Amino acid sequence: NAGVMQNPRHLVRRRGQEARLRCSPMKGHSHVYWYRQLPEEGLKFMVYLQKENIIDESGMPKERFSAEFPKEGPSILRIQQVVRGDSAAYFCASSPGQNAGWAEKLFFGSGTQLSVL
Amino acid sequence: AQSVSQHNHHVILSEAASLELGCNYSYGGTVNLFWYVQYPGQHLQLLLKYFSGDPLVKGIKGFEAEFIKSKFSFNLRKPSVQWSDTAEYFCAVNDNNAGNMLTFGGGTRLMVKP
């Protein structure tokens, strides 16, 4: 079991470009979560998705950020027109469902470090 | 909204010293509590968790944590640290109003000197 796979590990973008971060959940997991870690801060929840559905996007910035988890393929976190303040580590986690005990089966990826020049 | 505080941002210890990392949360209702560890360059790993029952929870690698409801605390402890414990430690809380969302503390960077 390869675990939660995120790519790329490091992504460098210039201001105004688009960033696309990918997350492949663990085998058998149908729920994906994205968290952002700004420098010297803890992880902050961004969005929770199930296949083809956004369940909770209460932590997503209102503009430029979007996320999807298609029926086939990885979950994508897209940041349009990046700014320096978007520089952060973006972590993905997955779980098999949302039933009681979901957090015990929550596994994190190694993260994508986004640097905006 | 839930908030989680980790008061020590950086801790430096010598090997064999005892460790206690503080974690306090704000929500007064039913909570699930977690400690995660992130070794350099690696993903977050679950150290231990508390859902219910015995408030003294034992995790992997000799770590334990005690849930004290009256103090809204879930401090992490280890009697004798090793150099390999050098990592960043995150406390996280899930409360029953937040659905499938964890609220993390700001993290504590632990450096253990050999």
Residue that wins the pLDDT comparison between B37 and A2: B37
Q: Residues of chain A with pLDDT > 70: what percent?
A: 95
Distance separating alpha carbons of residues B99 and A49, to the nearest angstrom: 12
A21-78 pLDDT per residue, tens: 999 999 989 999 999 998 777 899 999 999 999 999 999 999 999 999 999 999 999 9
**DSSP string of A65-86?**
EEEE--SSS-EEEEE-S--GGG
Using alpha carbons, list the distances in angstroms from residue A63 to A28, A55, A78, A83, A84: 32, 18, 11, 12, 15
Q: Residues of chain B with pLDDT > 70: what percent?
A: 100
Query: Which residues of B are less than 8 Å from A44 in CB distance?
Result: 104
Residue that wins the pLDDT comparison between A18 and B7: A18
Average pLDDT over chain B, rounded to whole?
92
What is residue B40's predicted lDDT score, i.e. its pLDDT?
86
Query: Which residues of B are less than 8 Å from A107 in CB distance?
Result: 43
**Which chain A residue shows the shortest CA-CA distance from B9?**
A40
- Smallest Cα–Cα separation from B21: which of B30, B12, B29? B12
CB contact under 8 A, A42 and B43: no
Secondary-structure percent of chain A, ordered helix, strand, coil, rounded to 5 = 5, 50, 45
Distance separating alpha carbons of residues A64 and A75, to the nearest angstrom: 17
Query: How many angstroms separate the CA of residue A38 from the nearest CA in chain B?
Result: 10
At residue B22, does pLDDT exceed 80?
Answer: yes
Span B83-97, mean pLDDT?
Answer: 91
φ/ψ of residue B35, rounded to 5 = -125, 130
SS3 of residue B88 by DSSP: strand
Query: How many angstroms separate the CA of residue A16 from the nearest CA in chain B?
Result: 28
Q: Considering only the beta carbons, identify the residue of B49, B100, B104 that sits closest to A43.
A: B104
B38-49 pLDDT per residue, tens: 998 888 899 999
> Residue B14 CB: number of other CB atoms within 10 A?
10
Q: Which residues of B touch A (CB under 8 A)?
A: 4, 6, 9, 32, 34, 36, 41-46, 49, 51, 90, 92, 94, 99-107
Confidence of residue B98 (pLDDT cuts 50, 70, 90): confident
Q: Residues of chain B with pLDDT > 90: what percent?
A: 74
At residue A1, does pLDDT exceed 60?
Answer: no
Look-up of token digits 């390869």: A2
CB contact under 8 A, B43 and A110: yes
The whole-angstrom distance between residue A10's C-alpha and the CA centroid of its chain comes to 14
